[in-house]
Amino acid sequence: MGVQCSICGTGFDKFMSYNGREHAKCPGCRSLERHRSVFSVFQQLKFFTRFKRRTALLMVSMDIAYWARLRKHFNVSVLTLEQGQKGTVYGDICAPPFKPGKFVIVVQVHAMEHVKDDRKATRSIYRLMKPGGFYISNVPCRGSKTVEFNAADPDQHGHWRLYGLDGYLQLLCECGFVRVRRIGATFIAEKD
């Protein structure tokens, strides 16, 4: 057996190809590298033992590959712009339908680059969090500086921007987050 998925625990000779990337998708749970990176952060930071069962967690994406696994421990709300998705709340992250201070953990995976006003969205996430909460995020990131496209670029999967490492870290800090760091491809930021 060559690889084992950190989410579903199943072993395979190799992961499947996805979107031109070799060995990217788990044949079992369908998770991608970004999902496994976020899940790895949950494991490394011991979130499953650190937080009580049913702790409020918001997912700002439809990454159902690990949604079911998180629901076994956390009280998960999923915010999406896609109406009619079972088990989700329809809404815009820039004007979310939740009370401020509701969530201990917010997870965003490859969604922020699709949002026109990422500063407004990031500030909104900050307001939704309880003091001492964690924002776990994963965005496509290359180089140092963020490149803005000024429109949803169809050649870039509808992205408004391509984040640079320094640019994304700066965005998180400007929106009030502290102790911002990165583990693998995933960013961890805290609210004081």
User: For the chain, which residues make up each domain, given as ranges?
Assistant: 1-31, 45-190
Contact predicate 56/75, CB 8 Å: yes
According to DSSP, the residues that pair with 11 across neighbouring strands are 4
Q: What is the pLDDT of residue 116?
A: 95
Give the homologous superfamily in CATH for domain 45-190.
Vaccinia Virus protein VP39 (3.40.50.150)
Distance of alpha carbon 31 from alpha carbon 19, whole angstroms? 13
Q: What is the pLDDT of residue 62?
A: 65
Contact predicate 80/90, CB 8 Å: yes
Summarize the confidence of residues 143-166 as an average pLDDT. 92
Q: What is the pLDDT of residue 129?
A: 98
